[in-house]
Structure formats: structure tokens, C-alpha cells
């Protein structure tokens, strides 16, 4: 038969991509970040209460909904928090060397600002907002920024109001290790875990579509 025409960006019948090997790495420089209303504290070593649980859910949904396998690395680097990035760095480097096919690196966090800033009502449900952060303290950061902007634009279209935009910071966040490495904040410490989890289907959708437009369609 004829080849399938390229899907328009927001085709609800977005293709199930179906890869056999991982296409992205999800990890957490600050894996102990938790959700105070749910866990009673802002940091926890029980990873079921922290951003690690969001990572599990993101990996599951990207595999099931879009056929995109991800590696979820659950190393703890933020004990103490100050040296997290330098501790994680050699491990991320090694994971990338072992998996040269990876096209995205997602460092998943939750923010530490008040609830009004990190929450939006979507379809009548309070949902954690998503902030993308790009470090500019390394050559080539513009490529990380371009990828983050792609994710932001898809989020804006799929769920207007969920994205807090793309913030640039004079830091590296280990994003120099990969041209599509981004830092993603989902919700904040004043959100419940449930509110943060509600953002994950939107994030999965945006990452899958951005992946498709950056790496498959062209």
C-alpha cells in the first residue's frame, strides 16, 4: 500500500512507535524530593513517595501508550543535596556510553515554590504544572533549549496552562552530556502526589510527540 502520510502534529491517533531498545534515560539528580501533603515531609528516602514514583509512571506510560522504551535510573545522589550533580555525572556518562542510541535524557524533579505557581485545573482536576529548565553554562546549550522549547510547545497545545515555560539558568545540570538533556519539574512540594501524577500523561504525550518530530519524521 501507499506509505502513511506524515501525521499532523496534533493528530489524536498519534502513532504507536514501537522500538525494541531504549530511546531515553529518565533519572533524578534530586530523587528524594517528595510531596508534603502526601508524605508529611518535603524529602523522603522511601522512593514510592518521591519523584522516583513519577519517573516509574512516565516510563510505564511511554512504553504502553507510545511504544517508546525508557531506562529509569533510580540512583540516589542528593545525600547531601549540594553535591548531587557531580555525584550523578559519572553514572550518567556511563549509562550514555553503554546506550549510545539514547536520544533524550530527562532529569525529573519537583519544584520548591508555592502551590499557586505549580498547580492548574485541567478537566476539573488539580494538576501539577510542568517547568522545563535548561542550563546555559556549557557550549551547545542551544540544542538543549531547542528540544525543551519543542516539549513546551506541545504541552501548550495538548493542555493549555500546564506548562510554566522554559527557564534558562547559568548552571550546567550535566546537560552538556547530551544535546537533548532537559530538566523537568513536575508540580511542587505543596502538591499532592496525585496532583503531580495527573501531569504525567501530558508529559508523556509531549515527550513522545517531540521525539517523533525530532528523530522520526525527518
Q: What average pLDDT score do residues 103-116 get? A: 98
Question: In percent, how much of the chain has pLDDT > 70?
Answer: 93
Residue 210 lies in a domain: no
Residue 19 lies in a domain: no
Residue 218 lies in a domain: no
C-alpha cell read off for 183: 530538566
Got the DSSP string for 52-103? HHHHHHHHHHHHHHH---EEE------SSGGGHHHHHHHHHHHHHHH-TT--
**208 vs 217: which has the higher pLDDT:** 208
CATH of the domain at 152: 3.40.630
Half-sphere exposure of 17 (CA within 13 A, CB side): 24
pLDDT tens digits for range 122-168: 999 999 999 999 999 999 999 999 999 999 999 999 999 999 999 99
pLDDT confidence of residue 2: 47
Range scoring the smallest mean pLDDT among 11-15, 18-22, 70-74: 11-15
Residue 15 lies in a domain: no
216 pLDDT band (50/70/90 cuts)? confident
Place of cell 496532583: 195
Domain extent for 118: 24-193
Are 43 and 79 contacting, i.e. CB atoms less than 8 angstroms apart? no
Q: Is pLDDT at 9 greater than 60 in this prediction?
A: no
11 pLDDT band (50/70/90 cuts)? low
Q: Is pLDDT at 4 greater than 90 in this prediction?
A: no
Residue 201 lies in a domain: no
Buried-state track 92-109, b at ≥16 Cβ within 10 A, e below 16:
beebeeeeeebbbbbbbb
| Structural domains of the chain, count | 1
Residue 79 lies in a domain: yes
pLDDT confidence of residue 18: 78
Average pLDDT of the residues of the chain? 93
Residue 54 lies in a domain: yes
pLDDT tens digits for range 170-180: 999 999 999 99
- Phi, psi (rounded to 5 degrees) for 31: -70, -15
Got the DSSP string for 149-169? HHHHHHHHHHSTT-EEEEEEE
Q: Is pLDDT at 10 greater than 80 in this prediction?
A: no
| Helices (H), ranges, 104-192 | 115-118, 141-158
Task: Measure the CA–CA gap between 127 and 158, rounded to whole angstroms.
Answer: 14
Q: Is pLDDT at 196 greater than 50 in this prediction?
A: yes
Q: What's the distance, Cα to Cα, between the start and end of the chain in Å?
A: 21
pLDDT tens digits for range 24-46: 999 999 999 999 999 999 999 99
Using CA atoms, how far residue 139 sits from 104, 170, 210, in Å, is 18, 12, 23
pLDDT confidence of residue 91: 98
Query: Which H or E run contains 208?
Result: helix 193-211
Are 42 and 88 contacting, i.e. CB atoms less than 8 angstroms apart? no
Task: Measure the CA–CA gap between 170 and 162, rounded to whole angstroms.
Answer: 25
pLDDT confidence of residue 76: 98
Residue 4 lies in a domain: no
Amino acid at each position: 500500500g501507499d506509505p502513511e502520510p506524515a501525521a499532523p502534529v496534533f493528530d489524536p491517533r498519534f502513532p504507536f512507535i514501537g522500538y525494541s531498545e531504549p530511546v531515553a534515560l529518565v533519572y533524578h539528580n534530586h530523587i528524594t524530593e517528595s510531596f508534603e501533603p502526601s508524605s508529611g515531609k518535603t524529602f523522603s528516602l522511601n522512593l514510592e513517595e518521591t519523584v522516583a514514583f513519577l519517573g516509574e509512571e512516565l516510563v510505564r506510560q511511554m512504553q504502553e501508550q507510545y511504544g517508546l522504551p525508557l531506562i529509569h535510573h533510580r540512583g540516589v545522589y542528593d545525600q547531601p543535596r549540594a553535591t548531587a550533580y557531580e555525584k550523578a555525572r559519572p553514572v550518567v556518562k556511563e549509562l550514555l556510553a553503554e546506550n549510545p542510541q539514547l536520544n533524550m535524557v530527562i532529569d525529573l524533579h519537583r519544584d520548591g515554590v508555592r502551590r499557586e505557581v505549580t498547580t492548574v485545573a485541567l478537566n476539573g482536576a488539580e494538576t501539577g504544572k510542568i517547568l522545563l529548565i535548561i542550563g546555559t553554562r556549557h557550549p551547545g546549550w542551544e540544542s538543549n533549549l531547542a528540544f525543551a522549547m519543542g516539549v513546551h510547545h506541545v504541552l501548550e497545545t495538548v493542555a493549555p496552562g500546564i506548562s510554566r515555560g522554559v527557564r534558562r539558568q547559568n548552571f550546567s545540570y550535566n546537560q552538556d552530556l547530551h544535546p537533548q538533556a532537559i530538566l523537568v519539574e513536575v508540580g511542587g512540594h505543596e502538591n499532592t502526589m496525585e496532583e503531580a501524577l495527573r501531569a504525567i500523561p501530558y508529559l508523556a504525550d509531549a515527550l513522545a510527540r517531540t521525539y517523533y518530530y525530532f528523530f522520526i519524521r525527518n
